[in-house]
Structure 1
C-alpha cells in the first residue's frame, strides 16, 4: 500500500512539473480577452448591426438625394451626408463597449478573471486594447465602404464626391474615431457602474439627455453642451454642425479628453472596489 501511494504521489508530482506555468502578462491578458470576444455571439451581432446600420443609412441618403430638389437639407447634400448613420452607430458601439465589460459582472465571470489576473489593471488594458483595435478596424472599413457605395448611387444621376475631395477623409476617419471613442467611454462607464442596465442608461444620458438639457438654458447652456462627447464629435464628423460648435480640432481634443478621463476614472474605481 505504501509503495502504491508513493508511486501515485511521484506520478502527480511529475505531471505537475511538466505543466508550463507562465506568469501573468499584458500579452496573455489580451489573448484571453480576444478569446472572450470571439466566444460571445452578442459582440459580433452588435458590431454587425452597427455596420449594417451605417450602410443602410448611407444607401438611403444616397438614393433620396440622387436628384436635387429645393427642399433638401444642406447636410444631406454635403460630402459627410452618407455617414449620418453614425447617429445609430454611436449607440450600438457604445452599447457594445458596455456589454463587453458588464457581461462579466452580470454572470460572475469577473471573479474568475480577477483570480487569474490579481493585479486587475491588465484586465482593463487588455479589454480596452481588444475593443479599440477590433472596432477601429471594422468601423473604418464600414465608413469607407458606406461613403463609396452611397456616392456610387448618387453618381448615377448627378456628380457626387470622391475620397480625394477636401475634407472627405476627415469626415470618413473622424466618423469612425467618434464611434470607437464613444464605445470606449461606454466600456469605462461599465467598469464603474458594473450593471448593464445602469451602464446603458448612464451612457445614453451622457450622449443625448444631458447635452439637450443644457441646450435649454440659452446661449450659455448651448456653449456648455458643445463640450459633451456627442456635440464634440459632430464638430469634426459633420460638414455643417449646429451652431454654436467647436472647431474640428477642438472637437477631437475634447472627445479624446472625455475618453482619457473615463479610462482614468475606471482605473481608479477598479483598484478601490472588490469584484
Structure 2
C-alpha cells in the first residue's frame, strides 16, 4: 500500500495528468456532440453510404484521441522518472523493481479507466439526447452498445499498462510517445495498403484486434479469424507479453 500511495502522489502532484484527463473528457464530449449534430444533417444521412450514429461513432473521440492521450500520459509516468533520475531513488527505497513498475501501471490504469468512463458514457448519452431518433440513429442500449461502452474503458486501462511497459522498455520520452502514437495511427494502417497480403497481416496486429472488439457490428476492414471477444483476448495477451518483457529488462538494466 505504501508503493500505491507513492505512485498515486507522483501521478496527482503534477499538472500534466490533470491536463490530460481534462483533454480526454473535453475531446470525448465534444466529438460526441459533433457526431450527434452530423446525424441530423440531411445530406450526411442520405445517399448510398449514409452516416450512421451508433455507440462506436459517438465514442469515437474517446477510443481514438482519448485513449491516445491516456497512453502518452502513461508513458510519461515512466520516462519522466528516468529522465530526471527519480527512478534511482525509487528503486533504492523499493528494491523490488517489478513491484514498482507493476503498481505504477495499476495506478495509471485505474485513473485512465475512470477518466475514459466519464468521457465515453458522457459522449454516448449526450449524443443520444441530441440526436433523438431516426432511421440512421442506432443508439439503443443493446448488448453490442454496452460492449462498446465498457469496452472503451477496458481498452483505456489495457492501453495504459501497455504504454507504461513501452516507457520502461525505451526509457526516452520522445521515442516512447512516437511509438505509442505512430503504431496504432500509422504503422498498422499501412498494412491495409498492400491488398490481401496486408489484410492477412493486419488481423494479427494488436490495435486492429481491439478496434475489432470495439466495433458494435463487427469489423468491416478485414476478415478476422475470431469474433470481437477474440480481439479483446488477443490484445490482453499482447499487453501481458510486452509488460512481462519490460519487467525482465527493468530488472537486468541499470537504472
- What TM-score, normalized by structure 2, do the two folds share? 0.90
1:89 Cα shift? Answer: 1.4
**Are 2:195 and 1:221 equivalent residues in the alignment?**
no
Aligned to 2:221: 243
- Cα deviation for residue 162 of structure 1 reads 5.0
Query: How far off its partner does 1:120 sit?
Result: 1.0
Give the number of the structure whose alpha-carbon radius of gyration is greater: 1
Q: Does 1:148 align with 2:122?
A: no
Q: How many residues align?
A: 248
Partners of 1:235 and 1:245 within 8 A in 2: no
Verify the 8 A CA contact 1:43 1:100 in the aligned structure 2. no
Q: How does 1:14-93 map to 2 (within 5 A)?
A: 27-68=1-42, 69-71=45-47, 76-85=52-61, 86-93=63-70
Say whether 1:263 aligns with 2:243: yes
Per-residue deviation, 1:152: 0.4
Q: Is the 8 A contact 1:29 1:123 kept in 2?
A: yes
Q: Which runs of 5+ in 2 are unaligned?
A: none
CA contact (8 A) 1:186 1:203 kept: yes
Shift of 1:163: 5.7
Query: Under a length normalisation based on structure 1, what TM-score does the superposition of the two structures give?
Result: 0.83
Q: CA 1:213–1:195 in structure 2 vs 1: closer, same or farther (change >3 Å)?
A: same
- How far apart, CA to CA, are the structure 2 residues paired with 1:192 and 1:74? 44
* CA distance 1:163–1:184, shift in 2 (3 Å): farther
CA–CA distance in structure 2, aligned partners of residues 179 and 266 of structure 1: 19
Aligned: 1:116 with 2:93? yes
Q: 1:214: Cα distance to partner?
A: 2.4
Q: CA deviation at 1:73?
A: 5.0
Asked if 1 retains the 8 angstrom alpha-carbon contact of 2:109 and 2:156, the reply is: no
In the TM superposition, residue 66 of structure 1 has moved relative to its aligned partner by 2.4
